[in-house]
Amino acid sequence: MKLRNLLYATMIACAFASCSNDDDPIDNGGGNETPNAEAALEVKIATPALTKVEGVTDKTISSLAVLVFDVKTGRLESKGVNNEGKAGASSVIAEKITAGAKRVLVLANVESKVSGYTAGLTNGTEYSTVLGDTKDFAEEVDGKLSMNSGVYNVDIQAGVTNYLGYTVDEANSYKGHYLDQAGGKTVKLYRNVAKIVLSKVQVTADETKYKDATLDVEDVFILHANKTTNLVGAEGASWGTTMPTSLNYLNGAENKVYVGWADYMKDFGANKIIQKYLTDTKVYDYASVFSLDLSAEDINGQTLWEPTTGNSSYVYENTSTDIYTLLVVQGKFKYGEVQNPESRYYSVAIGKDGITGINKEDGTYNAPEGFDGSRSSLSGTVRNLQYNVDLKVAGPGYTTPFGPKAEDDTYLDVKVEVVDFGHINQSTEIE
């Protein structure tokens, strides 16, 4: 068979939820020629344009990699990292690929992980190893949030450039082979983090019960944030779950403080517990990044608080319906002659409290309308979604973030909007 001098390339375009944009990639030219008959895979991503939303860094892609696994051997055959193709920084090329059935995976902002696979090009990193790999939250940086695509099963044709994420016309214009696994659309990337935003705090206390009620917010923090994430969605699914099997948590409250809360709650019955908590001190640790260091004074029925900076936190996926990731507001609720109260807590279970249409039996809710991913039924905190929390304070709150529940049914009313980061709005009222 006559060898051809064409690069073998496939392009994968990426978009995830709200930050996808098929028009973002820029064609900067580039050819298809290759000095041998081995194929090259060109991956094109529709990078969200940071310049369109000034200051938004959770859309940035600073490092792009494509991994190509041979289906027969189950091992890594080729890897391309920041090797730009026709679309410039919106594309990446993997070279020296043989013809046949392959699995293709795109990763963004995971430089340290991808560099560790380099040796696998000679000794064969296994596909199953990459699917089971994890990432620590300490490695997540705003502006470099880790992302992944689903795994695409493609049949690479020899001697031509193979294009995934392109239209048929585009592939033909490049004199290449069109791969239809993406349906002629760009390939989407999904972040490994969810985003929690405290959008509003307002006092809704009954004036006859709590005269001239006000709230001074002393702190805002996260509890039960997952420490690790799987690097790739379960079974390689697009927007598949990345919840690890071995759970360890990070808190925005110091360990000794958390232990004090748990000790206080241990003598209360289940009917007094508002949010479930951890009793094993080996499965959680303090991380200052989950303390938002927010404060406000004299929030009342006429003056609500809408923080605009420092009011968000990224967290890994936590789909548990037992130990929820919590957003906690600590403050002093003043009313009538009670002007020097102790600090109290208002806790919102992310992916539970205030979710419109949530199933009360199993704690599941629907994905945002139009969200393109492999899951329709969700639970807990799900990656690549944004949870906008609207907290309504109707009373003094709780002694700890976990309760106890008062005899007069002290409660929290939360409205949460789930939207494509994706967003989910949660509105909750706590008395």
CATH number at residue 50: 2.60.40.2580
**What predicted TM-score, i.e. pTM, was given to this entire model?**
0.86
Using DSSP's 3-state secondary structure scheme, residue 48 falls into: coil
* Confidence check: pLDDT of 152 > 50: yes
Neighbours of 51 (CB within 10 A): 7
Q: Do residues 337 and 246 share a domain?
A: yes
Q: How confident is the model at residue 376 (pLDDT cuts 50, 70, 90)?
A: confident
| Residue % of the chain over a pLDDT of 70 | 80
3 in a structural domain: no
Q: Do residues 55 and 174 share a domain?
A: yes
Residue 365: which CATH number?
A: 2.60.40.3690
Q: Do residues 225 and 173 share a domain?
A: no
Using DSSP's 3-state secondary structure scheme, residue 428 falls into: strand
pLDDT number for residue 321: 94
pLDDT number for residue 47: 52
Which residue, 168, 191, 214, sits at the end of a domain? 191
Tens of pLDDT, residue by residue over 158-212, are 888 888 888 889 889 888 889 999 888 888 889 999 999 999 999 999 999 999 9
Tens of pLDDT, residue by residue over 380-423, are 999 999 999 999 999 999 999 999 976 554 556 787 777 767 55
* Confidence check: pLDDT of 7 > 70: no
Q: Do residues 145 and 293 share a domain?
A: no
Mean pLDDT calculated for residue range 94-103: 90
User: Is 32:176 a contact under the CB 8 Å cutoff?
Assistant: yes
Q: Do residues 46 and 184 share a domain?
A: yes
153 in a structural domain: yes
Q: Do residues 137 and 237 share a domain?
A: no
Mean pLDDT calculated for residue range 113-136: 84
Cis preceding-peptide flag for 404 (omega within 30 of 0): yes
Q: Which single residue is written with the structure tokens 């808190």?
A: 251
Q: Do residues 407 and 311 share a domain?
A: yes
The half-sphere exposure of 264 on its side-chain side, counting CA atoms within 13 A, is: 16
219 in a structural domain: yes
7 in a structural domain: no
User: Range with the lowest mean pLDDT among 40-49, 138-147, 346-355?
Assistant: 40-49
pLDDT number for residue 28: 29
User: Range with the lowest mean pLDDT among 67-76, 178-187, 305-314?
Assistant: 178-187
pLDDT number for residue 428: 58
Mean pLDDT calculated for residue range 139-160: 87
Bin 2: left if φ > 0, else alpha if -120 < ψ < 50, else beta.
beta
User: Range with the lowest mean pLDDT among 3-7, 288-292, 308-312, 316-320?
Assistant: 3-7
6 in a structural domain: no
290 in a structural domain: yes
35 in a structural domain: yes
Mean pLDDT calculated for residue range 314-336: 97
Tens of pLDDT, residue by residue over 21-39, are 333 332 323 344 444 467 8
Q: Do residues 225 and 292 share a domain?
A: yes
Which residue, 191, 222, 257, sits at the end of a domain? 191
Which residue, 132, 159, 191, sits at the end of a domain? 191
Q: Do residues 288 and 168 share a domain?
A: no
325 in a structural domain: yes
123 vs 111, higher pLDDT = 111
User: Is 144:60 a contact under the CB 8 Å cutoff?
Assistant: yes
pLDDT number for residue 26: 26
Residue 107 lies in domain? 17-191
Q: How confident is the model at residue 430 (pLDDT cuts 50, 70, 90)?
A: low
Q: Do residues 358 and 222 share a domain?
A: yes
pLDDT number for residue 415: 77
Neighbours of 247 (CB within 10 A): 16
* Secondary structure E strands in 309-404: 312-316, 326-334, 344-349, 364-366, 377-379, 385-393
pLDDT number for residue 131: 94
Q: Do residues 176 and 47 share a domain?
A: yes
Q: How confident is the model at residue 64 (pLDDT cuts 50, 70, 90)?
A: confident
Q: Do residues 260 and 394 share a domain?
A: yes
Mean pLDDT calculated for residue range 43-58: 51
What is the domain count for the chain? Answer: 2
Q: Where are the alpha helices (DSSP H) in 124-235?
A: 127-131, 168-173
